[in-house]
Every structure is written in C-alpha cells, then in structure tokens.
Amino acid sequence: MNFKDKVILVTGAADGIGKGIAIRFAECDGFVIVTDINREKGEELVNSLKDANKKADFIYMNVSDIEKNERIVSEIINKYKKVDILVNNAGICPIKSYKEITLSEWDKVIRM
C-alpha cells in the first residue's frame, strides 16, 4: 500500500499497538502525526522515523481533554491542511479483574 501525500493522525502512538500502526503508515510513505501523553517516547519515535527518512511529527495530546483536542485538531488542519486518516488508538486498561475496577476507573476508560 502507498500512502504518499496522505496525512495520518494516530492517537496513543508513542508505544504499543499505536507505535506499530504509526511505523507501518510511515513505511508506506504516509506523513504520520504521532500523538500521545508520553512526550519523550513520542518524540523518540518521530526522531527514529525521521532518521529512516520517513515523514512524521509529534504533538502532545491527551485524548480525554476534549476542549484542548478541538484546538489541537484545528492547529493540525491549519498546519497540514488536512487529515486523511484518523486512527483512534489511545486507550487505557486497568491491570486488574473487571470486578475490581472502581466506577472512577471505568469512567476514565470510557472517556478515552
């Protein structure tokens, strides 16, 4: 597949599945916008993609902050003129039995 001239926004892309998705889109010549709450890992990924002559940028984004995200998406559109593909990958999962998860923890999971 070829994603040349495509702008791909991947949330939760600094690690795990999101990182794999971002790398694969970059390998297919897409311009990948890596977003995550982990600035260090996100910037590390973008730098490694750029070192491999791939196109990428990092933007700090907490997907649970809806108000800020609206502004961030507007800034992305202004800067890159479009988003062709959005991968809503960000998420959280408490490491415990579902029976032990509190209502507050479930709320955080759903907000993601």
- In order, the DSSP letters of 39-59 are HHHHHHHHHHHHHTT--EEEE
- 84 domain residue, yes or no: yes
Q: Which domain holds residue 64?
A: 7-111
2 belongs to a structural domain:
no
pLDDT for the residue numbered 40: 98
The whole-number mean pLDDT for each consecutive block of 10 residues of the chain, a chain of 112 residues, reads 95 96 98 97 98 98 88 93 95 81 80 71
Instruction: Please state, as a whole number, how many other Cβ atoms lie within 10 Å of the Cβ of residue 4.
Output: 9
The count of domains in the chain is: 1
CATH for 90: 3.40.50.720
Residue 104, domain member (yes or no): yes
Considering the domain boundaries, does residue 97 fall inside one?
yes
- Is position 1 within any domain? no
List Cα–Cα distances, 61 to 41, 52, 86, 90, in angstroms: 13, 24, 14, 10
Q: pLDDT at position 93, please?
A: 75
